[in-house]
Each structure stands twice: as C-alpha cells, then as structure tokens.
Amino acid sequence: MNASPLFPGKLCIQQRVLTTYRAAFFDALAGSCSQGLNIGAGLPRPQEAIAVTDELHKAKYTRLTNLHISNGRFYLCYQWGLLRWLSGSDPAALILEANPRYLAAPAAVRWMKRRARPVLGWGLGASSRTNSPLAQLTGRRRLDFIHQFDGLLTYSRRGAEEYASLGFPAGRIFVAPNAAAPRPYNPLPQRPSSFGGQASLLFVGRLQKRKRVDLLLQACAALPQDLQPKLVVVGDGPERAALEAAAKVIYPAAEFPGAVHGRELSPYFSAADLFVLPGTGGLAVQEAMSYGLPVIMGQGDGTNDDLVRPANGWQIPPDNGPALLETLRAALMDAARLRRMGAESYRIVAEEINLETMVDVFVNSLNQLAK
C-alpha cells in the first residue's frame, strides 16, 4: 500500500460549528499536515440540537463567535474573530465552507490571496434554483462566491457536476466522499445464507421527526406475516417516548434499547440483516456497511449517492411510506441477495469511502493547488 500524501505546511479549516462526528477526520488530517491543522469554528443556535465538541487530539481548535442573523431560508452568519484567527495561525493554505451565507468568508479569501496562498471551498454542491427574482439574485451571489476559490472540495459526483455547471473548472473540483469512520479493521462478517426464521432490521440514530421511524414501524406492520422482521431501534431523542408508545399499537415486536455508542453498538450491527434509515441524514450508514450490511435510506443532498448504490442498497424518496414498504418487501424476500449486497457494502467502505481516502483527497487537492 502506498504511503499517504503529506501537505508540507500549516492548514487552517473554517467551520460554522465543530461537529462531534468530524473530530476523527480532522485529527486524521492533522497527521498529514507537516506543520499542523487549526480549526476555527463557533457554536450553533440552541434550537439546532447539533452535537458539537471542543476536544481534538491532533488538530488545534479555536473558538470563533457566531453571530446568527435571521432564520430559515434567510439565515446568515457572521463569524467574529475569523481574520484574527487567520492572522494568528498564518496558514499555508485555507479551506472554507463554500456557503455564501457565511458573511466573513470573502474577507478571509482576500487575506489569503494578498499572500498568494491557496483557498479551497468545501461544500455539498450548488443545487438548482427556481426562476423567481429572489432566486436569480441568490444565484448570482452564489456564482460570484464560488468563483473566488482556487479549488472546490465536495462530497459527491453530483456536487462536482453542480459546481461544474456554474462554470467552475472541472480540473479544480475534487470529490472527497463523506466519511465518518476509518476503513474496517475486521474481516467481512459471515452470515448464514438464510434468515433462520425471521430477518432482523436495525435503525441507529437520533430519534427525531425527520428520521421517520414512524414510517418504518408502519411499513413493518404492513408486511405479510411471514416477512415481518425483528425491528431494533437504537437511539434516543425528542421522539423516543412517542415512538415507543406508537410501537405498542402499530408494531409491538419493535425493540428500543436506547442510546448506544462506540463498541457497544457492535452486537447490534453483527446481529442485523438489513440497516434501514427511512428519513434524511444518518451518520451510522458507513459503520453499518463495515459490518457487511445492505442499506435502505432516504434520498438526501447527494452526500450518500456514492455510498449507497443499487449494488449494495436502496435510496428511496423520504417521507414516502409506500416506497419504503415495497422496498422492504423486495429486500426481505431474498436473503441470498442481501448477503451479496452486504459484501459489496463492506468492499465500498474498505476500498473507496473511508477516513483515510477522504484525507488523501484533501491533501492531494492542497498539493495540486499549491503548485
């Protein structure tokens, strides 16, 4: 195996907030920067319920002050202290979130360009807009914002295509598939060719409305009796009590073990036959795939397009109960096919989408632009 690339300098990365799940990636990336990695980020609004951290083992974290302006579709954020952090860090390269809602970003770009140092934008892509006057104004602002960067990092091929559609040079767009875990260390788990009586479905995540666990309960109950699975819903959150109460009526076979983290999740992944995330979001998908599980999940913003494919799972329209029911029916009728799909899930996270690959893409893009 080839050695991982190294960025010969100090790197700074701006984030609106430092989420807990990103800590492992930033520490891994810091190990590939010869003069270290500094993260500048603020805090979310209380109502966002985002899990954040200030604990990094290799990377350095500096708290910025987020000034939240307005809400909803008109949300803007100004990060107080961004230029002071940048000046004190004096990085060789800078990565900014490619979001025009963050008002201090252009000043940071200008600071770097005056010193002839590369700046990369990191974002989901640039989804299409309507033709309303407001949308056209927003689109022009987004276009100007995107073109100030020397390069763009995005999570998916869909994101890369969207950036290219804005006229950004394709050779300076880099796809770093979104990863939350390293490549699996253990071999592919071996499961029997049949379910042995009853298949086991697993959900892992925060229990909130957008995860649509209610639809999963309804779909399991609507399946033919001989296909109805054991359902295990791992997690906690504001909807837990309501879901447990609903399950007693809709699908009493569902189990709710509560919040489980880290290595304690291993028995749940090992015992499952299929991993299901009917709503949007879901950081546990990659971990489930590392246990050789096929996946059913709701379609989102493209970050999981390259992770969940026809060869290893299904992406279904979110909030669509009939689509979830029919997909579950098709999946549970063929245990042998699920085993093949699970093996492909394992291959994807072992060879393609993991923290190590994500780090390599970031470092290679920095080195290419630094030239």
Domain ranges of the chain: 11-180+354-370, 200-351
pLDDT tens digits, one per residue of 219-232: 999 999 999 999 99
Same fold? 11-180+354-370, 200-351: yes
Mean pLDDT, rounded, for 78-97: 97
Q: How confident is the model at residue 143 (pLDDT cuts 50, 70, 90)?
A: confident
pLDDT tens digits, one per residue of 308-348: 999 999 999 988 999 999 999 999 999 999 999 999 999 99
CA 220, CA 328: separation in Å to the nearest integer? 8
CATH superfamily of 11-180+354-370: Glycogen Phosphorylase B; (3.40.50.2000)
Q: Which tokens sit at 257?
A: 């073990």
* Distances in whole angstroms, Cα of residue 81 to Cα of each of 7, 91, 100: 26, 16, 18
| Strand pairing report for 65-69 and 60-63 | unpaired
CA 83, CA 67: separation in Å to the nearest integer? 15
DSSP per residue, 142-161? HHHHHTTSSEEEESSHHHHH
CATH 3.40.50.2000 fits 200-351, yes or no: yes
- Rounded to 5 degrees, φ, ψ at 98 are -85, 65
pTM score of the predicted model = 0.85
